Chains A and B, each alone.
Chain A
Amino acid sequence: MGFLKGIINALADPRLFFILAVASLVVLVWKRERIAANSVGYGLLGVLTVFFVFGSFDPNFRLIVTKPDNVPIVGLIFLLVFFTWYSVREGVLNDRRIAAGKGPIEKEEADRVWVWPDLVYTEMISLIVCSVILIVWSILLKAPLEQPANRSLTPNPSKAPWYFLGLQEMLVYFDPWLAGVVLPSLIIVGLICIPYIDKNPKGNGYFTFAERKAEVTIFLFGFVILWVSLIVLGTFLRGPNWNFFGPFEFWDIHKLEALTNVNLAEYIWVRGLRTGQPTFWLTREIFGILLVLFYVFALPVILGKTWFKGYYQKLGAPRYYVGAFLFIMMMALPIKMLLRWIFNLKYIVAIPEFFFNI
């Protein structure tokens, strides 16, 4: 038992956790024909249930999972795993129908039905079921109330509300101006832009995967991996000092993690060129600045002429550049994560003189 818990603790390490999450998305997309089987979806829910039941015998696991505000996130895990699988399955089923020349199932259901009684009763039943769930939940689980607010007693860890924990997790890799302001704003702008960038006329109003491979994969990566799985990570696996703790690990406030992160400037000047770092910030950071400028401004252009040539031609310059910029901003997070994990890279550009660190 202890051995199994040790394995799960090790797998939950942020690096492995993230890589496993990405790997499962890859498998989901790649093996979707096989995964569309009912047994896979319900099997997944079964495995999750077994995991949580098994985990609940462990005091550390129980402590973190039954924290009242974390209960909804346990629910979110089940719902999201199910609906991710379900939406891909519906897409696969429709793709098979389309391939057979039958059109998506929604087309067959294009007939009109009366709102009264068909919709009104569906709504009433959902409303009753939802009310019952909410009332039972409210009776069984008390809303949390901790000690009165005390500004001189900072809890460790201090966590934002759960739906912002993905952003708080980003703080490990980016400074607040990026993780807390610029990137969240870009998420909102990017979401709003989706319908104006996506010119693919297919897949409008029915589940499909084959007709919208890139769109669906990018969205699943952004939503399920970057947004939700980082929330799960931030909620269950981050303890005191925002250190990593496995699900079965005791939240030891004295756990030490060596901070050995190094800035790009030090890599280049000190370790590469074997001299001291220049004192003037522009000379010191010139390589990082060039790299960032290249990433943000040159890379979309280069990609538009090589790998993404097809998109450039399909979308036209304005749509392509807005889309490519947003995509590159999204990919900045996993790229920075990898750089941190592989090279212990702290900042690409570090100008603390102006609070400007990337």
Chain B
Amino acid sequence: MADTKTVAPKEGAGTRLWNWLTETQVWKSIFRHDRPDTDRTRVLVMLSNVFLHLHPVRLRKSGVKLRYTWCMGGLSFFLFLSLTLTGLLLMFYYRPTLEYAYNDIVGLREHVPLGIMREMHRWGAHAMVITVWLHMFRVFMTGSYKPPREFNWSVGVIMLVLTLLLSFTGYLLPWDQLAIWAITVGSNMARATPFLGHEGPGASLLRLGDVPLIHAYDDARFALLGGSFVGEGALLRFYVLHCVGLPLGIAFLMAVHFWRVRKDGGISGPL
């Protein structure tokens, strides 16, 4: 076990105030343990705190080293939380309709003094894509996907896809030229889905006599955009997916991912 220092409390006004505070009924009702400066209280703080209980009580030394973890998984989670928070604030000011969407963004930019919520949301989203990639990179390079962690790697891959989709759906919402053309380029691919896109190979085989079953108004791209082009239907669809559907999905998988990190033996290390 690693040595941990116990700092002797110094006498002074601050210490007396601290001692008084931690003895009050209110404090003791919130924190069910003493200062985490002994082995016993360090265990208790992990077991009695709902936020900290995601952690084990103890972990491998390499698990706290930047050299080993690069901190990228943790940062991805942190960025997700900060995106949830800034996204929530943005939702107060944004209406996903052709009439309002662009003007609401202009309003955010022009009428909010020192406003950086949109910037934090956008840069945070870009950063999260990068941290997720680097997390995956680190996990690969340390062979951490190997048994017993195979399934958790697979969950992680799905979360990677959801991260990209979250970023992709959010890209449309400002409803400027950058947004619709990026989504147009991206979603045009769906039109070439084999069998399910109207310009995909095999789609022309799906027909009843002369009536094609797959055309521009019912193919995969139509399902994605809620229309045959990036319009009002796509904006609403992307908004709902961006704010509700995909975050729910990724939060659910995060629960599985973190749970499995613990259940598969904590952070990886040599056997």
Contact = CB atoms under 8 A, between A and B. Distances in A.
B189 interface: yes
B146 A109 contact: no
A354 interface: yes
A1 interface: no
Nearest to B49: A116
Interface stretch (B22-30, B52-60, B236-244): B52-60
B123 A134 contact: yes
B64 A113 contact: yes
Contact of A177 (B118, B200, B268): B200
A296 to B, nearest CB: 15
B61 A191 contact: no
Contacts of B176: 144-149
B130 to A, nearest CB: 5
A198 to B, nearest CB: 7
Given A194-B153, A354-B201, A355-B199, A138 B119 contact: yes
B182 A158 contact: yes
A155 to B, nearest CB: 6
A110 B61 contact: yes
Nearest to B129: A163
Nearest to B119: A138
Interface residues of B, number: 104
B177 A146 contact: yes
Majority-rule SS of A interface residues: helix
Contacts, number: 285
B79 A204 contact: no
Given A164-B168, A204-B143, A195 B150 contact: yes
A198 B55 CA distance: 29
Interface string A111-130: 11111111110110011001
A353 to B, nearest CB: 8
A130 B76 CA distance: 10
Given A91-B141, A110-B269, A134 B1 contact: no
B192 A118 contact: no
A127 B51 CA distance: 15
B194 to A, nearest CB: 6
A356 interface: yes
B157 interface: yes
A69 B61 contact: no
B194 A181 contact: yes
Contact of B105 (A72, A145, A151): A145
A202 B175 CA distance: 50
Contact of A138 (B120, B177, B179, B182): B120
Contacts of B62: 105-106, 109-110
A130 B75 contact: yes
Contact of B116 (A138, A162, A168, A354): A138
Interface string A276-315: 0000000000000000000000000000000000000000
B201 A177 contact: yes
Given A109-B62, A109-B269, 17 more contacts: A80-B134, A103-B270, A105-B62, A106-B270, A110-B62, A113-B4, A119-B59, A134-B79, A149-B102, A149-B177, A159-B182, A176-B192, A177-B194, A177-B199, A204-B268, A205-B144, A223-B140
Interface of A: 69, 72, 75-76, 79-80, 83, 87, 90-91, 103-107, 109-120, 122-123, 126-127, 130-131, 134-135, 137-139, 141-151, 153-155, 158-164, 167-168, 175-177, 179-182, 188, 191-192, 194-196, 198, 200-208, 212, 216, 219, 223, 354-356
Nearest 6 pairs of A and B residues by beta carbon: A180-B189, A138-B119, A195-B150, A176-B192, A72-B126, A109-B61
